[in-house]
Amino acid sequence: MHFPKSRLPTHKISQTYDHSATHAIFVVISVLLFHFLITGAMLATFCWFLTNSYLREDSPNSHVVEQRVEWLYAFDVHCNSFFPMFVMLYVIHYFLSPLLMVHGFIPVLLSNLLFMAAASYYHYLNFLGYDVLPFLERTTFFLYPIGVCIVLSPILILSGFNPSRYFMNMYFSRRL
């Protein structure tokens, strides 16, 4: 599991932007429970349902054993996809945060590109996790969210939306 690995960067971000130890613990628990476990369980359940309901190959004869994706496999794919996204959005973001938190076009551009790259890489690794299963077809469906990221990114950049500032304000409730 990635619990010990995700606790340290989250705690460091809390130390940098907040002075309360209880709020730092709240942020660490929020990241572990909401971002990793709850969101991961919902995504794994969605992918598990999708693969078993719509993406399995039809077996041409009755002598073939029916194969299905297990829910734990779907959650494992999420865990393997989540870790690089976590490194990008927590570790690398922590070191770049002084640059990403200021006002201006360059911080908006870099922040959006960092979030787009992390989300795209998550979905690409998710695709790879399901593409290796020989009984699934049309697994390129898992690449479609990358197109959404690519389309949304310029729109968010041109609108001036800075995801770094948004999430830092959400967690630390101070105007940064």
| Opening angle at CA 115, ends 158 and 152, nearest 5 | 40
Half-sphere exposure of 124 toward its Cβ, with a 13 Å CA cutoff?
11
Half-sphere exposure of 150 toward its Cβ, with a 13 Å CA cutoff?
8
What is the reported pLDDT for 69?
A: 95
Q: Provide the token pair at 116.
A: 């787009």
Q: Where are the alpha helices (DSSP H) in 18-104?
A: 21-30, 39-54, 71-86, 93-100
Residue 75 predicted with pLDDT over 80: yes
If you count them, how many residues does the chain have?
A: 176
More reliable by pLDDT, 95 or 2: 95
What is the reported pLDDT for 68?
A: 92
Give helix 163-172 / helix 105-131 axis angle, nearest 10°.
90
Residue 116 predicted with pLDDT over 70: yes
Percent of the chain with pLDDT over 90: 63
Residue pair 100/111 in contact (Cβ under 8 Å)? The answer is: yes
Residue 123 predicted with pLDDT over 90: yes
Give per-residue pLDDT as tens, 10-64.
Answer: 566 666 665 567 777 777 788 888 889 999 999 999 999 999 999 998 776 667 7
Q: Provide the token pair at 17.
A: 């932007």
What is the reported pLDDT for 137?
A: 92
Residue 88 predicted with pLDDT over 90: yes
